[in-house]
Amino acid sequence: MEPASLVQQARQQVSELTGMPAEAVTGLRRDDSGWTVTVEALELARVPSTMDVLGTYEITLSDEGRLLGLRHVGRHRRSATDHGGS
């Protein structure tokens, strides 16, 4: 499967499994166990939108695009420049 298709599959899986819209893909890497895609999803919409809370998820897919794992790795405000805090 091509990387662009894997990214699309990861976004879809995050949205379906969490019930939250996937907003952005921030990482893609390949290792011995498959592909890991880092996806940000909108967890809480706020006004103004710069205060939205985004969750960061790592989704692991096989070379064929089959779901191998999903992990929530953190959350941050949309306006945060450093994802080390929320």
d(CA 76, CA 30): 25
CB–CB of 48/31 below 8 Å?
A: no
Is this model's pTM higher than 0.75 or not? yes
* CATH for 3-77, options being 1.25.40, 3.10.450, 3.30.1370, 3.30.160: 3.10.450
| Domain ranges within the chain, ordered by starting residue | 3-77
CA distances to 47, 55, 81 from 11, in Å: 25, 13, 23
What does the pLDDT profile of the chain (86 residues) look like in tens digits?
A: 899 999 999 999 999 999 999 999 999 999 988 999 999 999 999 999 999 999 999 999 999 999 999 999 999 999 987 755 44
